[in-house]
A = this chain, B = another copy of it.
């Protein structure tokens, strides 16, 4: 019984991203409904923009896109929406890039491990019990109590290094 999850794998270039997007928005709607939270138009729009693709998106890029629809948007518009989405597990921040990725597994807040391709920018997200347990074990040895884990691994995805040379 292994609870390791691949929350979001690297996608083949051919994949139908519209489906990713739709299912992410649907999941977010359902999650908010169940939790009695409001997925307001701004929040939904920001979430859609984060889900443009499988690469981390910058807050000010989101802002630029928001402004195209509604010129009154300002930084707090974006950061508030991102804060809400992060609190609900609908978005994660990639600390080493100051950028944000969508997550379609909001049911339970989780600590993820991210694998980020330096070449194409794609991100894969795992929720891997083996990694969590190992970190837990290491921490336990010196009496450290883990509250939050940040694991961001940079390198090359399969496609990129296979096509690379």
Q: Which of B9, B126, B142, B156 contacts A124 (CB under 8 A)?
A: B142
Q: Which of B115, B130, B139 contacts A153 (CB under 8 A)?
A: B139
Query: What sequence of 0s and 1s flags, for each residue 133-159 of chain A, a beta carbon within 8 Å of any chain B beta carbon?
Result: 011001100111111111111111110
Residues of B near A108 (CB, < 8 A) are: none
A128 at the interface (CB under 8 A from B): yes
A10 at the interface (CB under 8 A from B): yes
Q: How many copies of this kind of chain does the complex include?
A: 2
Pair B150/A152 contact, Cβ less than 8 Å: yes
A135-B151, A146-B153, A150-B152 known, 9 other contacts, Cβ within 8 Å: A113-B138, A117-B144, A131-B134, A142-B157, A142-B158, A143-B162, A144-B157, A145-B155, A148-B154
Residues of A within 8 A of B (CB): 9-10, 95-96, 113, 115, 117-118, 124, 126, 128, 130-131, 134-135, 138-139, 142-158, 161-162
